[in-house]
Amino acid sequence: MAKFQSLKEAVAENLRDGDTVAFEGFTHLIPHAAAHEVIRQGRKDLTLIRMTPDIIYDQMIGMGLAKKVIFSYAGNPGVGLLRRMRDAIENGWPRAIETVEHSHAAMANAYEAGAAGLPCAVFRGYRGAGLKEVNPAIKSVTCPFTGEELAAVPAHRPDVTFIHAQKANRRGDVLVEGIIGVQKEAVLAAKRAIVTVEEIVDDFEGLHPNLCVLPHWTITSIVHVPGGAHPSYTHGYYDRDNAAYLEWDKISADRDLFTQWMKDNVLAVGSEAFAARVKGM
């Protein structure tokens, strides 16, 4: 049964040092506010999973929270590199990290396998690709029925998954609208799931086909954080802040500038102030 909590309480109760954690959201609904609270609480030695790591993972890596990243495509969308991630990989600053790279197809299948309680995902993929030469977690198996060679990767089973969504009702069900991505599978695959939402309502009305409802029994904690996906967008609530992504490229290019920005805009800012700042934009 989902609990309604503050973001500080939800992170403190559910995320521990050394956990494997996913922060999912594809293009929109990226849980920035939740990631910032994790940074404020100083979690360490995390294994981060994400289908398309962008600036929230750049920030967590740059603050030394991550020991390992399992991912497909890492970049600042529409801009370029994740400079803090690159600095960690190439120079070990602020610490060295292990990287495990997959294709998008492998990541999606690994989440689906985890959601189904399976140990691995089996799919058609990686034929002629070079990733399997540098990622020992990519295996080949032979179909016992057809003899076809297939790719196999370990299932994703996060200790905790964080997502952002439009609404939760009083019972604890969560409504996700627009581009769904792998949020559903990431929640079902996790031991614990924390959802930040724009609104808490009595019930969902005016439902349409382009949505997903996660029932309350799949959710551990719900947190009311308006603007919690900024600078990504939330379908039906606010647009993507393209200027913030462009600005991040300059901020993240310099270690001292990055460190000061994080102190001013994350460490010194709580989730309530985060929501107020976004509302005023």
What is the per-residue pLDDT across 222-252, written as a single tens digit (0 to 9) for each? Answer: 999 999 999 999 999 999 999 999 999 999 9
Residue ranges of domains in the chain? 3-102+157-277
**Would you say residue 272 has pLDDT above 70?**
no
* CATH class of domain segment(s) 3-102+157-277: alpha beta
Ranking 83-92, 140-149, 172-181, 266-275 by mean pLDDT, the lowest is 266-275
List, in sequence order, every residue forming a beta bridge with 193; answer none if it has no partner.
Answer: 161
Q: Return the pLDDT at 274.
A: 52
Closest to 240 measured CA to CA, from 104, 77, 82, 85: 77
**Would you say residue 125 has pLDDT above 70?**
yes
Q: Return the pLDDT at 129.
A: 87
Number of H helices, E strands in the chain: 10, 13
Encode pLDDT of 1-32 as tens digits: 799 999 999 999 999 999 999 999 998 999 99
Q: Return the pLDDT at 45.
A: 98
Alpha helix segments (H runs only) across the chain: 7-14, 32-40, 55-62, 83-91, 104-115, 131-134, 183-189, 242-251, 255-262, 271-279
Half-sphere exposure of 175 (CA within 13 A, CB side): 22
**Could you tell me if 88 and 96 are in contact, meaning their C-beta atoms sit under 8 angstroms apart?**
yes
List, in sequence order, every residue forming a beta bridge with 69; answer none if it has no partner.
Answer: 48, 99
**Would you say residue 210 has pLDDT above 90?**
no
- 270 vs 54, higher pLDDT: 54
**Would you say residue 279 has pLDDT above 60?**
no
